[in-house]
Structure 1
Amino acid sequence: MGSIDSQAHDADVIIIGGGISGCGAAWYLKQYGLSTIILEACDRVGGKTYTVPDGCGKSGHVDLGASWVNDTTQSSINALIEEFGLERLVQNTEGSYIQQTENGSFFTHGLHEKLESRGDGFEEFLAKFRDVVESISTGDVASTPGAEDLDAGTIHNLVEKNFPGLPSLPHLVDLFARTFVGTDTTEASMLYFAHYFACGGGIKEMCGEEKHDAQYQRLVDGTQSVSNAITTRLPHGSVLLNHAVSSISQEDGFVTVKTKNDKTFTAKKAIITVTPPLWNSIQWSPPLSERKALISDSLIMPTYSKIVFAFSSGWWRPKVSGGIMFADEGLVRFVRDTSVPTKDCWTLTCFATGKKGTVWGGQSRENRRTTAWEAMKCAFAKFVEDVPEPVSVSEMLWERHEYFWGAPSSSWPPGMLSKGFQKDLKAPHGNVHFAGSETSSAYKGFMEGGLRAAHRAVEEIVKG
């Protein structure tokens, strides 16, 4: 298929946003013989895939954004990994991890061993939540049985209503939500929460690290290597960094995009991949529909920050071999072993999420690192003698970035998804099509979701 119009223009399709979804869209359009221009606001491609050197002076890298893939259920990202010959490694989950108890003490436990019930109602909540997740219609969430009731309140509201007399349960569900979604339970709709997990195949698949699960594998050279590989295969000059978009107008069948550095580009079609809360920061002519504008105003960007500590060795592995920590209290609730042994790269990644993550992010850089390190060191020191200081520290506060506002995926407040707004989210606006992982019905907040959304937008353009 050649150019979609013979009239003079800068490209067949302008792509706004050079993250995994935008780069994926350019790659898919290239297969159809269509030309593209990617306009990226930042000084790099990759979006929420962001890979940096580990700081140890060797060849290791760390991911400060999206990190995990698998090679069975995530067909789109898997196809690109194979196409570009990128090397994977299986996430380390062997052996034990650290768990904090309600009284603040810590113990180690086998990752795949079943914990005894703590009598706090969490297992009962998970069982009921699993039933809800399995009932969700991912493609049309508003058609889910009982959608209005699930969308009537926040997760916190519905936990209190359905599980009275369990004072510690709301806290545990909040920890669960912030660990995997980044949103506090007092903000997001229960329907959204269930939909998010359903889009990833279910609770076990979204939370697990085994074969077929979302956290099964990582990339040796980091996830940003996918976008980098795509852009090196696109025509020279078709990827423009530091080109933040200021306006999008449509007239006479063409889309005109202007950037903040006073550049203008014209195409027959456009694909916008930026997160929906950013849509209203762009001037639109004609304006976005009322429902699209309301989506942009209403969606919540979660706090999901990362801080990565790099070491000269994997000192924790002999005693806490899984390198995982779950904490019920404190600012840092979740730690993962993100090492790449073949690169002699030994790292532990801390996650600071939700409102407490926002508090942590508001501290000075030095205090953030001290707070995170002391919390992690305190837990590991219970089981490992002579915990060494890190060689280097890397961090990313996504909610403070001008063009991201948070991660991994914007959340829905109560009262919207049950009213059909999911369809408005991904509906084209004239000749402008919408991608990005939020618009996907599979793996929202994951690279796979961004690529599936890109493929859908491309098919809309190609097939009309």
Structure 2
Amino acid sequence: MADIVDAIIVGAGLSGLQAALDLHESGRSIIVLEARDRVGGKTNSTEREDGKGSHVWGYCERFNLTPVKQNIKGLVASEDADGSCHMFPFGELPKFEKSDVDGIVKLRDMAEAASLNPETFQKPKRDELDSISLEQWCRDFGVGTKSLLTARVWCRGTLGQDPCEVSALAYLEICRGAMGLVNLRHDGKHGAQYLRVQEGTQSISIGISKLLPAGTIKLSTPVASITQQTPKLYTVTTSNGDTFKARKVIISIPGPTYKNIIFDPPLPQQKLLYTTAARYGTFVKHICLFKMPFWNRQGACGLAQSFRGPINHCRDTSVPDRGNYALTTFLCAGPGRKWLSLIKEERTEVILKQLGSLFGVGYETVKSEFIDSITAKWTEDRWAGWGCPFAATPPGVIGDGWKANQKLGGLYFVGTELTDEWRGYMEGALRSGKRGAALAMADLQTEDVRL
């Protein structure tokens, strides 16, 4: 029995590592199996070639990391569907016609109220909202084109999907977990975008991994199957034929990647429905590095949004103390897919031209300040499910109230898409990992008492 551990954790992203740490610190034996050759999941920090709060905040303090506040001092850039651009003060709305602004405010306030109302997520309202798309929900309020385009920016910026692809319930659940739509979109204090980590987000995963016993994490070890031998024993087999046995298994992988694993017995129909239906959009993070922050000379803070694309939104991700100046752009949905089809030189030219228009300086100025760019490889990552930031469901999947994170015997499901709080964010991943570990520990404790 010495080769049987208390729990196997599948996946060494933030949620899996948090679950592993909680179990280890409670005195339980664990093994972590990770398909990649590194820890961190979709957090993968890349160094520049030139060398240049919450559970998350707790780890920043524990590992002596350097938080960087999001720059919100200055103007925000806005691009209309016809390519016309203007800037407006942070905290205000774009300078559209009054009727358009009123429509955006109406839709924002309705989404905010719905996401904070508990009845939204209870039957019968729950079923009603899951039966329609987010786009239909917005249209039902009778708002105009600018409002619908704004909602598209929101949805693309959160999921890389258009509002017609996501159920209204799914999106409002995301808003609820962030304490409302406004907070989800906010870059100021307490908002979802408030802090960054100077050393890179992967540094938290690396730090947690070092708190685990040596040899606990098995890298480059994809899981091929999970078999329940008895009610209290599971065998996990890897793609290279190695087997591991445990009393419990915590699964910390994205929904779309469940199809990489054979479950015996098979997952129940509701779980299969979720893992089959939950899908990524197109969400590309493209970081542009510059010699100097040219946008600051225009009085801009680096935040921008576009109805046209391919950039859906961007923000200043500079670290001025290190002479590191950058704009991180996000290319989403259809415009993002079209951009991905271009060769590298064309991609760069398109981005620099749009940044020149957004911030009113022109292509030549942006090009003269440009150093290089870094593109996240999420769309090429099999173990992430070929996407990011997290999978969401279309209409008709989650309305019955069954939770995708519901445990099945000795199987526990964690991940940033499976949390009710801060879904899609690092904080959500950590909270989900803690929840899964707590469930597993409670069941292990019950079994120990029975023994």
Global fold match (TM > 0.5) = yes
- CA 88–167 in structure 1, closer or farther in 2 if over 3 Å, else same: closer
Aligned counterparts, 1:55-74, within 5 A: 55=49, 57-59=50-52, 71=53
Contact 1:39–1:244 under 8 Å retained in 2: yes
Contact 1:248–1:256 under 8 Å retained in 2: yes
Deviation of the 1:397 alpha carbon: 4.1
- CA 108–168 in structure 1, closer or farther in 2 if over 3 Å, else same: closer
Q: Paired residue for 2:193, among 203, 208, 215? A: 215
Deviation of the 1:199 alpha carbon: 0.7
Aligned counterparts, 1:384-423, within 5 A: 386-387=365-366, 388-404=368-384, 405-421=386-402, 423=403
In structure 2, the residue matched to 1:150 is: 129
Contact 1:361–1:397 under 8 Å retained in 2: no
In structure 1, the residue matched to 2:150 is: 172
- CA 108–385 in structure 1, closer or farther in 2 if over 3 Å, else same: farther
Aligned counterparts, 1:87-106, within 5 A: 87-106=66-85
Contact 1:154–1:413 under 8 Å retained in 2: yes
Contact 1:54–1:392 under 8 Å retained in 2: no
* Mapped pair 1:327 → 2:309: no
Q: Paired residue for 1:317, among 265, 290, 296? A: 296
Deviation of the 1:384 alpha carbon: 9.5
In structure 2, the residue matched to 1:123 is: 105
* Mapped pair 1:29 → 2:23: yes
In structure 2, the residue matched to 1:53 is: 47
Deviation of the 1:389 alpha carbon: 4.2
In structure 1, the residue matched to 2:117 is: 135
Determine the C-alpha separation between the residues in 2 that align with 1:262 and 1:376.
50
Deviation of the 1:377 alpha carbon: 2.9
In structure 1, the residue matched to 2:279 is: 300
Contact 1:152–1:189 under 8 Å retained in 2: yes
**2:255 corresponds to which letter in structure 1?**
P
Contact 1:304–1:352 under 8 Å retained in 2: yes
Q: Secondary structure at the match of 1:419?
A: coil
**1:178 corresponds to which letter in structure 2?**
R
**1:244 corresponds to which letter in structure 2?**
P
Q: Deviations over 1:320-356 (max 9, x none)?
A: 4401221221211211100111222111111011232
Determine the C-alpha separation between the residues in 2 that align with 1:114 and 1:247.
51
Contact 1:154–1:187 under 8 Å retained in 2: yes
Deviation of the 1:318 alpha carbon: 2.5
Contact 1:206–1:213 under 8 Å retained in 2: yes
* Mapped pair 1:349 → 2:328: yes
Contact 1:136–1:198 under 8 Å retained in 2: no
Aligned counterparts, 1:253-292, within 5 A: 253-292=232-271
Between 263-272 and 167-176, the greater mean CA deviation after superposition: 167-176
Deviation of the 1:364 alpha carbon: 3.1
Between 343-352 and 323-332, the greater mean CA deviation after superposition: 323-332
Q: Secondary structure at the match of 1:47?
A: coil
Contact 1:303–1:398 under 8 Å retained in 2: no
**1:306 corresponds to which letter in structure 2?**
K
Q: Paired residue for 1:192, among 165, 170, 173? A: 170
- CA 385–391 in structure 1, closer or farther in 2 if over 3 Å, else same: closer
In structure 1, the residue matched to 2:11 is: 17
**2:107 corresponds to which letter in structure 1?**
F
Determine the C-alpha separation between the residues in 1 that align with 2:116 and 2:289.
39
Determine the C-alpha separation between the residues in 1 that align with 2:427 and 2:70.
18
In structure 2, the residue matched to 1:245 is: 223
Q: Secondary structure at the match of 1:212?
A: coil
Deviation of the 1:381 alpha carbon: 4.5
Q: Secondary structure at the match of 2:389?
A: coil
**1:358 corresponds to which letter in structure 2?**
R
Q: Secondary structure at the match of 2:399?
A: helix
Determine the C-alpha separation between the residues in 2 that align with 1:308 and 1:144.
43
Determine the C-alpha separation between the residues in 2 that align with 1:402 and 1:363.
22
Q: Paired residue for 1:181, among 159, 178, 181? A: 159
Determine the C-alpha separation between the residues in 1 that align with 2:86 and 2:399.
42
For the aligned residue pairs, the C-alpha RMSD in angstroms reads 2.0
Gaps of 5+ in 2: 444-451
Q: Secondary structure at the match of 1:428?
A: coil
Determine the C-alpha separation between the residues in 2 that align with 1:144 and 1:183.
26
Deviation of the 1:124 alpha carbon: 1.7
Determine the C-alpha separation between the residues in 2 that align with 1:385 and 1:113.
30
Provide the aligned length of Structure 1 versus Structure 2.
Answer: 437
Q: Deviations over 1:160-196 (max 9, x none)?
A: 33316x3444333212211233221111001111111
Contact 1:304–1:408 under 8 Å retained in 2: yes
**1:230 corresponds to which letter in structure 2?**
I
Determine the C-alpha separation between the residues in 2 that align with 1:148 and 1:430.
27
Q: Paired residue for 2:202, among 190, 208, 224? A: 224
**2:397 corresponds to which letter in structure 1?**
M
Determine the C-alpha separation between the residues in 1 that align with 2:93 and 2:164.
29
Q: Paired residue for 1:81, among 60, 75, 80? A: 60
- CA 115–381 in structure 1, closer or farther in 2 if over 3 Å, else same: closer
Q: Deviations over 1:289-325 (max 9, x none)?
A: 1111111111121221111111222232232440122
Contact 1:117–1:123 under 8 Å retained in 2: no
Determine the C-alpha separation between the residues in 2 that align with 1:320 and 1:254.
62
Contact 2:88–2:95 under 8 Å retained in 1: no
Q: Secondary structure at the match of 2:237?
A: strand
In structure 1, the residue matched to 2:359 is: 380
TM-score by length of 2: 0.91
Deviation of the 1:38 alpha carbon: 1.5
